[in-house]
Structure 1
Amino acid sequence: MFELLEPICLVTFLADECNEELAALGHPTYWDGYFASRAAPLGRVPAEVVHAAFYNFADGEAARHIPSAWETIPAEASVAARERGSAASVRRILGAELATSPGLLRAADLTTTAATGASTEGRMMYAGMRTLALPVDPVARLWHSATMLREHRGDGHIAALLGAGIGGTEAHVLGALDAGIHPAESFGRIHHLPKKRLAAVMDGMRERGLLDADGRFTDAGRETKARIEAVTDELAAPPYDALSPEELDDLAAELAPITATLTAAGSR
C-alpha cells in the first residue's frame, strides 16, 4: 500500500502547483511553505514541537521557519493551498479521463475509510491531519487520505527509529547508504550540516558498530536498517483493518493505473 499511495503524496513535494499556491500566499521560499503547511494541523505550536514531530531535520532548521511563516499568513490558508495545489497536480498528471473515472472515486472512498479508521494514540502528525475536514472533490480527497496514511506511517517510522536508538541525522545516514549513496555525508538532506557535526554522527555510528571504518554498513548496521523498516511496516498496517480483504483487493486494483500514471511522470 505504501508503494501504491506514495506517488500520490509526492506531488506535494515534486510538482509545481503546490509550491506555486504557497508562493502566491506570500511564502518566500519552498521551505517556508513546507513548514507552514505541513505543521499547521498541529496548531500554532513552537518550533521545538515541530522539530520533535518532524524528527529528522537539523537542529534549528524548524526555527528558521516557525512561527515566522504563520505571522502574516494564516496557518489555515497554507493548509488549504497545499491541498489545492496537490490536487491540481494529481488531476493534471492523471488527465481528465482517469481523474473523473469511477475507479478513482472508488479508490478515494476506500482510502478514506482506511485513513479515518485508525487510532490516533501516539500518532502526532496523523492526529493533526485527522482534525482537518475531508475534501468533497474525489481527487483532493484521495490525495488528502493518502497523505493522512503517509503521516500515520511516518509517526510509526519515528517510533521504530526511537526504539532502535537511531536519531534523525543517523536515520538519513542509514537511508543514504541503503540507497547506494556513499559517502553518506554527501546525501542532500545532510551534506549542508557542519562538518564537525557530521563527523560526530558518523563516529558515533562506528562506535556502535553500525558502520565500518569506511563509513559503509556493517552487518549489524544493515540488520538495524532492515529491522526498522519491518517495524515501520508492521505499525503502518492497522488503518487497513478497516477494510475487508475484498475491499483491499479492490483498492489495490483501482490504485494501480493511478500509481502507474503518476510514477511514469515522476509525480511532477
Structure 2
Amino acid sequence: MTSTSALSETAGRHCHNVINPFHSTHYFAPEFPAELAELGLENRSAAYFAARGAAMGAVGPGTITATFYNFNHELIARHVPHIWSVASPEAVLEARLRAADATLRRLLGDEALESPEMAEAAKLALRAVEGCTRHARPLYAAHADLPVPDAPHLAYWHASTLLREHRGDGHLMALLDAELDGLEALVSHHATGRGMSYHGVMTTRGWSQEDWTAAQERLRTRGILDAEGELTEAGAQLRKDLETTTDRLDRAPYEHLGADGVARLTELATGFTTAAMNAGAFPAALFGKD
C-alpha cells in the first residue's frame, strides 16, 4: 500500500490500542469458558493458559510463565502441564476459534461481520502482519504458524491476535530491560490508572496481598512509587519510556502498512471495538484503580 504521509511515532500504538480489544473479547465472554469446559477444562485459569499457550504446543509451566510474564508461576504450575492431558493443543485451538466466532457474532451481529468494512480491516491487518518478525518473539511466532481463517471476521481476529502478541513480546523485552518483574509491572501499570484493577489482578494473576505489598515496597525503594502507592515523577517517566521503547520495537508492521493504511485500519478497528464495548464485551470491575 502506498502512503502519502509520514507515520507518526505513536501511530502504531494508537492502532494497537483499538485492535487489541477485538482479539481480547473472547477471554471475557461466556462462550469461551463454555467451549473449553466441553473439552474438560472447567477452571478459568486453566482455560486461559491452554487457549493462549496452545499455539506453542504442549509446553510446560516454565514456558507459560516466561511468555505470559505477569502471572504467578505457582498458579500456572497448578494447571500446566496437566491441561495437556485433558485436551490437546489442537483441540484447544479449535475451541478457541469457535469461542471467538460465537462471541463476535453475539457482540457485533452477522451484518457487521459480513460487511465490506470487516473484509477491509482483515486485509489491512494481515498486510501489517507481513512486517512482523519472529525472532525473540515466542508467542507471536507460534501464532504466526497457524493458518489464517477463511471468514473475514476470523481472519481479522487472527491478525489482531498476531499484532497483539507481536507488541506484547516486544513489551516484555522493555519490561525486562527496565528491571521490572511480572508483579512490579502490574503494580506500576495499575498506578497509572490505565491498567488492570487491583480486583482484576488479584482474581486472575494468582498473587496475594502480601505479594502486592512487597512489590510496592520494592518500587518505593527504587523511587518509582511514593508512600501512597502513586507513581512518582520518575515512575511516570519510567512508564512513559516503557511505551516508547515498545513503540520502537513494534514499529515494523505499521511501517510496512504505511501511514494511510494505519490511519484507515485505526478507523475501522475503532468502529468494531467501540461496538463490541458498547455491547458489554468487558467487565468494568477488571479495569481502573479500584
What TM-score do you get using the length of structure 2 for normalisation? Answer: 0.85
2:277 is aligned to: 263
Q: Secondary structure at the match of 1:248?
A: helix
2:144 is aligned to: 130
Please, which of 128, 132, 146 is the counterpart of residue 118 of structure 1? 132
1:207 is aligned to: 221
Is the counterpart of residue 167 in structure 1 residue 181 in structure 2?
Answer: yes
1:189 is aligned to: 201
2:57 is aligned to: 43
User: CA offset at residue 39 of structure 1?
Assistant: 0.6
Q: Distance in 2 between matches of 1:247 and 1:48?
A: 38
2:104 is aligned to: 90
RMSD of equivalent CA atoms:
1.9
The structure-2 alpha-carbon separation of the partners of 1:144 and 1:180, relative to structure 1 and needing over 3 Å to count, comes to closer
Q: Could you give the per-residue CA deviations for residues 101-159 of structure 1, whole angstroms, max 9, x where no partner exists?
A: 11111111111121243111111110010111111111111111101111111111111
**Which has the higher mean CA deviation after the structures are superposed, 253-262 or 135-144?**
253-262
Q: Counterparts in 2 of 1:134-153, with a 5 A limit?
A: 134-153=148-167
Q: Counterparts in 2 of 1:174-253, with a 5 A limit?
A: 174-179=188-193, 186-190=198-202, 193-253=207-267
Q: Secondary structure at the match of 2:63?
A: helix
AA matched with 2:200: G
AA matched with 1:21: E
Q: Distance in 1 between matches of 2:52 and 2:69?
A: 13
Q: List runs of 5+ in structure 1 lacking aligned partners.
A: none
The structure-2 alpha-carbon separation of the partners of 1:63 and 1:116, relative to structure 1 and needing over 3 Å to count, comes to farther
The structure showing larger relative contact order (alpha-carbon pairs under 8 Å, at least 6 residues apart) is 2
2:91 is aligned to: 77
Q: List runs of 5+ in structure 2 lacking aligned partners.
A: 1-14, 283-290
Is the counterpart of residue 54 in structure 1 residue 73 in structure 2?
Answer: no
2:10 is aligned to: none
The structure-2 alpha-carbon separation of the partners of 1:245 and 1:223, relative to structure 1 and needing over 3 Å to count, comes to closer
User: CA offset at residue 187 of structure 1?
Assistant: 4.3
State the aligned residue count.
265
Q: Distance in 2 between matches of 1:180 and 1:6?
A: 15
CA contact (8 A) 1:114 1:239 kept: yes
User: CA offset at residue 212 of structure 1?
Assistant: 1.7
**Percent identical across equivalent pairs?**
35
Q: Distance in 1 between matches of 2:194 and 2:23?
A: 24
